[in-house]
A and B are shown apart, each in its own frame.
Chain A
């Protein structure tokens, strides 16, 4: 467990070591969140890069209200949203997702997740962005519904609804795929 208060303080002193410790602690989880959202590991690595460079570059202005993990997770999600908004990332559409997942030369490196997990991320990619975001933040990011609601500035019931609908839809998608 990191002593976040002290690490942030050391970081504000310019400590590369503190930055490295923070990066090593959270990188894999943040990469997984970004990759689950984007369905593209290369793009997810770019998100991770941008988040840490921005985090380091603005350290003087950063004031944590919650945990450092929540802050970095929120930063990843914001970057992912930006990618969608700017259309820099090619969204994987419903039908396309299945095709890409079976295409090992494609930009989606589902194989890195393993076969079953690849099916999962394919199904995730077919959910509306908000449902996917809620599921990934809760299950991969380990955030409570209350924290997600605060972060997204929406009612708790909306978060719970998105989560439930998202899971139902995933179950349907996976069942249909199993029949094929």
Chain B
């Protein structure tokens, strides 16, 4: 083993294998850490500034619209109803410029996390809470500035966005993780099942929508274990846009699906998103129609 070649080959061939008890200890601890991390990712409070805005501006028109849709539905034969496939949902989402998402964990009535995003304004606003520290974080990519407002002190911190930060941010927020079951429609497994929900009680839960479900099985490569997943979407009749999404899972076919989380979606205008940002970060009578009041001034 004296030549450099032999030494290199011998080092390259070194191989240790973990012991079964080590695997168990590491995986048990890692699962626990993952569970906490996923819960923490969306740990929020939130009185729902957006919800309040929506209520005040659209509550009445929305109710009227819902009644009209209901009345219309009564006169339309079920057989003539349009049924969308999941590609229709992905397609509708791909054209969206402005969105507001409220995420709810199972058993929670207030959203764990809220995100407002406007592609046309180049802004993403997150409301998050870490422990007792609630905060708004605004990524204003057009003005290249990140603003953080800590609700405990009302202090605002402004950080310039570098090219690298931007690239990492884009990567981390790509794919609308909690909105769709797979990052791309082409990733949907061929054996996944898409179906319309006929149950009236379920489909009436979100007026003006039709409910659909995608079910698929996630198989482990190393063990025999599988997870049965279900993604339920309430898609708006006219646009196919998701208004509510629910996530379920179960470990065996005989079990009932367990509810994991839901996402409520709204599609605000640019002006509405600007209003929200201005209310959080800007001066009361700020006339400038920009994503980030106070940025670069």
A interface residue numbers (CB < 8 A to B): 5-6, 9-17, 19-21, 23-24, 27-29, 31-32, 35-36, 41, 44-45, 48-49, 52-60, 63-65, 112-113, 116-117, 119-121, 124, 135-136, 139-140, 167-168, 170-171, 174-175, 178
Contacts and interface: CB of A to CB of B under 8 A. Distances in A.
A53 B12 contact: no
Contacts of A9: 175, 177, 183
Given A16-B31, A53-B33, A120-B1, A139 B11 contact: yes
Interface in B137-178: 168, 171-172, 175, 177-178
Given A16-B34, A60-B38, A167-B4, A24 B11 contact: no
B221 interface: yes
A9 B182 CA distance: 9
Given A6-B187, A53-B33, A60-B40, A112 B16 contact: yes
Nearest to A54: B33
Given A16-B31, A17-B220, A20-B27, A117 B38 contact: no
A178 B2 CA distance: 9
Chain A contact residues, majority secondary structure: helix
B17 A28 contact: yes
A28 B18 CA distance: 6
12 contacts: A9-B183, A16-B34, A17-B225, A20-B27, A20-B220, A49-B29, A56-B31, A59-B37, A139-B11, A140-B11, A140-B12, A174-B7
Contacts of B225: 17
Contacts of A6: 182-183, 187
B226 to A, nearest CB: 8
A59 B31 CA distance: 12
A17 B2 CA distance: 44
Interface in B192-228: 218, 220-223, 225, 227
B259 to A, nearest CB: 14
B36 A57 contact: yes
- Most chain-A CB neighbours within 10 Å: which of B8, B10, B14, B178? B14
B30 interface: yes
B177 A12 contact: yes
Contacts of A136: 11
A179 B29 CA distance: 47
B41 interface: yes
Contacts of B77: none
Given A24-B221, A41-B16, 5 more contacts: A14-B35, A45-B18, A52-B27, A59-B37, A119-B1
